[in-house]
Amino acid sequence: MKYKNFPMVPRVVFGRGSFNQLNDILAPKRKNAKAPFIYLIDDVFKNNIWLISRIELSYDDRIIYISSAEEPKTSQVDELVEDIILSTKERPSGIIGIGGGTLLDLAKAVSIMLTNEGESHEYQGWDLVKNPAIYHVGIPTISGTGAEVSRTTVLTGPDKKLGINSDYTPFDQVVLDSELTKGVPKEQWFYTGMDCYIHCVESLEGTYLNEFSKSYGEKAFELCKSIFLEGALSDVESQEKLMMASWHGGMSIAYSQVGVAHAMSYGLAYVLGVKHGIGNCIVFDQLEEFYPEGVQMFKAMKSKYNIELPEGICRDLSDIELDTMINVSLGLEPLWENALGKGWKQKMTAKKLRELYKKM
Amino acid sequence: MKYKNFPMVPRVVFGRGSFNQLNDILAPKRKNAKAPFIYLIDDVFKNNIWLISRIELSYDDRIIYISSAEEPKTSQVDELVEDIILSTKERPSGIIGIGGGTLLDLAKAVSIMLTNEGESHEYQGWDLVKNPAIYHVGIPTISGTGAEVSRTTVLTGPDKKLGINSDYTPFDQVVLDSELTKGVPKEQWFYTGMDCYIHCVESLEGTYLNEFSKSYGEKAFELCKSIFLEGALSDVESQEKLMMASWHGGMSIAYSQVGVAHAMSYGLAYVLGVKHGIGNCIVFDQLEEFYPEGVQMFKAMKSKYNIELPEGICRDLSDIELDTMINVSLGLEPLWENALGKGWKQKMTAKKLRELYKKM
């Protein structure tokens, strides 16, 4: 048996207000006056002086605001890379992603594609990246996806939704400042937090589980429970705990994998463009057969926070659309194998998957 | 407030038998035929074919067996570095430490001193190291110290026992193969495991605690409890869980600090040469005043495994020796501040410390 030699984020700052240290962290990484820092920032912060005024722009440094209304796409990555190459005198000194999973994944992908030839969809898969990425920094402003610590960047491409999984994907530096998450709207907070919760269930119930993943997964699970179910925390405590839950949840997947909910949610995203967090929730809500206790607890959390999930989103899909959805989902073999074991193809057929999607 | 930008081990392999991957991991790190890999290995493995035969030595690669009967010393580091410099044609490609905390700390210190001038005692303290260390790999064969993940290497020097705390100290690569811990004698297993347990108590009860340290510390604490108190685990489970407890315990100290037990145990080590694990146990056993619940649980664990601690080791010390012990201990200001808060000097005087030592 061969074990993964897992790449970890080599630098992390944690603390309320630690975002103030960003300029000092970046300064020694500037190569020269012609090699700027490029900030990719969720456009919800566009007029947010509290956050933006703390970023010191020098020389050709530049902020690019990006909407996270849609899942990140390979075409979007390629356009960003072209824009950056055309507008900078030299290769950037660094890419800084500020936002939720969408922005973090875009920052990771852009930093990879600035040093690797071709188009980003060619790198969707496992270990296809050849050259180290540009120095890249991740600063989450929503907690749950684990994108700040994972070795993947999940993109929707021309023919699949799949991550660029590589040793060069993880951030070189992460800043964990829970204060940045204080303005997240309740629904988004819940959906993104549930991404973490679902990671834990899928990892802990998966066949790939080992003691490394287990210890991280159990801690993240316990933190999610205290935030979303027990819920007697102050806002600050809750924000800090969710930030750590996301971190540990991401670490838990290092040696394991996600499972049925993620495999199906990728299909929803590909065909309908459903965002990852809410997509996971819509799917997980119907997975009692696979994760009985996990789904039961999820329903209790949903009810505690009065979350109403959209219904019937697959009702009017054509057969062709449904087939595409099923194919995208079944293509994620490691996820199914983790969830259902080596013989997963007997347990999860196209027919069965169609029935499940039809319920959503 | 300024937060630490904590350096993490950037690569980790976890798995039973993962030691078999060491040669493949090292191969791409070899600079050339004249730059060897130097293995520092606990001499208990000297005739252990099961372990040693799996290490492929090429060119000028060399194994140096080292006894861990004594705590690592700055003079020992300096001698090792001189030996390595005189016996290699070029600076080594890497230093690989295989053993418990003593061997891991020696490997870290040697890799630092191969690229930094002067003697190692000059670097005891915080952030005194100027140049990046040689590539270094840590492979624990006993679990508990957290040395595999920490940013310190604790050495006994001419006038103090203190770590070389720096961003260059952490290993570049760690291999976590719990199978390597299977032959540890019961007493050593207990003392080293208790080092982890005591880290957790000191971190969780300390004033420096934040949510990052807390989540790691709580998980490590829980794992220690399941191993040393509940104890219904198989040998393999127990070994794997303790390996993760050590890892999480080490991470927990990243943002916090150890406390009273470590501060006092350093004094014992400096004057009497008491090894770190057992020293912590001897001290912690007397600290009910500071850590009431933690010490109570420790006593239950001790009794479960029929551990008898040495008594009266300070009974015959001269006043000069006791004063030295007290001075070494009180010199560890961050540990005391973490344990007792900013006003710790009012709470822990030389007189009080003398009384505590006298009980041991």
Q: Does B12 touch chain A (CB under 8 A)?
A: yes
pLDDT given for residue B223 in this prediction? 98
pLDDT given for residue A160 in this prediction? 85
pLDDT given for residue B248 in this prediction? 97
Q: How much is the average pLDDT of B182-211?
A: 96
The residue in chain A having the minimum alpha-carbon distance to the alpha carbon of residue B256 is: A14
Contact A10 B5 (CB under 8 A): no
Preferred mutation among A2, A4, A5, A167 to probe B, highest tally of B CBs within 10 A = A5
pLDDT given for residue A172 in this prediction? 98
pLDDT given for residue A62 in this prediction? 97
**Residue range B150-174, pLDDT digits in tens:** 999 999 999 888 999 999 999 999 9
B286 pLDDT higher than 90? yes
Q: Within 10 A of A349 (CB to CB), how many other CB atoms are there?
A: 12
| CA-based nearest distance B185→chain A, Å | 23
Q: Does A11 touch chain B (CB under 8 A)?
A: yes
Q: Does A196 touch chain B (CB under 8 A)?
A: no
Chain A residues touching residue B176 (CB < 8 angstroms): 212
CB-based burial of residue A325 (10 Å sphere; 0-12 exposed, 13-18 middle, 19+ buried)? Answer: buried
**Residue range B292-304, pLDDT digits in tens:** 999 999 999 999 9
- What is the per-residue burial (b if ≥16 Cβ within 10 Å, else e) of B50-88? ebbeebeeeebbbbbbbebeebbbbebbbebbeebeeeb
CA atoms within 13 A on the CB side of B358: 9
Q: How much is the average pLDDT of B216-232?
A: 95
| CA-based nearest distance A143→chain B, Å | 14
pLDDT given for residue A159 in this prediction? 85
pLDDT given for residue A196 in this prediction? 97
Nearest to B223 by CA among B144, B150, B290, B161: B144
Preferred mutation among B5, B29, B149, B173 to probe A, highest tally of A CBs within 10 A = B5
End-to-end CA distance of chain B: 39
Spell out the residues 6+ positions from residue A306 whose beta carbon is closer than 8 angstroms to its own. none
pLDDT given for residue A254 in this prediction? 83
Q: Does B176 touch chain A (CB under 8 A)?
A: yes
| CA-based nearest distance B1→chain A, Å | 8
pLDDT given for residue B150 in this prediction? 94
Q: How much is the average pLDDT of B281-299?
A: 97
Cβ atoms of A40 and A83 within 8 Å: the answer is: no
Q: How much is the average pLDDT of B340-350?
A: 95
pLDDT given for residue B254 in this prediction? 83
* Separation between Cα atoms, residue A117 and residue A128, nearest integer Å: 12
pTM, two decimals, is 0.96
Q: Chain B 133-172, CB below 8 Å of chain A: which residues?
A: none
| CA-based nearest distance B279→chain A, Å | 28
B231 pLDDT higher than 80? no
pLDDT given for residue A231 in this prediction? 74
Contact A13 B6 (CB under 8 A): yes
The residue in chain B having the minimum alpha-carbon distance to the alpha carbon of residue A240 is: B211
The H or E element spanning position B38 is: strand B37-42
pLDDT given for residue B157 in this prediction? 93
Q: How would you list the strands of the sheet with B125-126, edge to edge? A: B125-126, B161-165, B154-156
Chain A residues touching residue B7 (CB < 8 angstroms): 10-11
Chain B residues touching residue A173 (CB < 8 angstroms): 5
pLDDT given for residue B159 in this prediction? 85
Question: Would you give the distance in Å from CA A351 to the centre of its chain?
Answer: 29
- Across chain A, mean pLDDT equals 96
Contact A14 B212 (CB under 8 A): yes
Q: Does B6 touch chain A (CB under 8 A)?
A: yes
Contact B15 A3 (CB under 8 A): yes
pLDDT given for residue B148 in this prediction? 97
The ipTM assigned to this model is 0.95
pLDDT given for residue B325 in this prediction? 96
| CA-based nearest distance B88→chain A, Å | 29
Contact B6 A15 (CB under 8 A): no
DSSP B73: B
pLDDT band at B115 (very low <50, low <70, confident <90, very high): very high
**Residue range A13-56, pLDDT digits in tens:** 999 999 999 999 999 999 999 999 999 999 999 999 999 999 99
Q: Give me the residues paired with residue A173 across strands.
A: A137
3-state secondary structure A283-331: HHCCCCCCCHHHHHHHHHHHHHCCCCCCCCCCCCCCHHHHHHHHHHHHC
Name residues of chain A where pLDDT drops below 70: none
pLDDT given for residue A52 in this prediction? 98
* Separation between Cα atoms, residue B253 and residue B261, nearest integer Å: 14
B195 pLDDT higher than 90? yes
pLDDT band at B89 (very low <50, low <70, confident <90, very high): very high
Contact B11 A13 (CB under 8 A): no
Q: In percent, how much of chain B has pLDDT > 90? A: 96
Q: How much is the average pLDDT of B306-332?
A: 95
Cβ atoms of A195 and A228 within 8 Å: the answer is: no
Contact B215 A5 (CB under 8 A): no
pLDDT band at B255 (very low <50, low <70, confident <90, very high): confident
**Residue range A252-283, pLDDT digits in tens:** 988 889 999 999 999 999 999 999 999 999 99
- Across chain B, mean pLDDT equals 96
Q: Give me the residues paired with residue A155 across strands.
A: A162
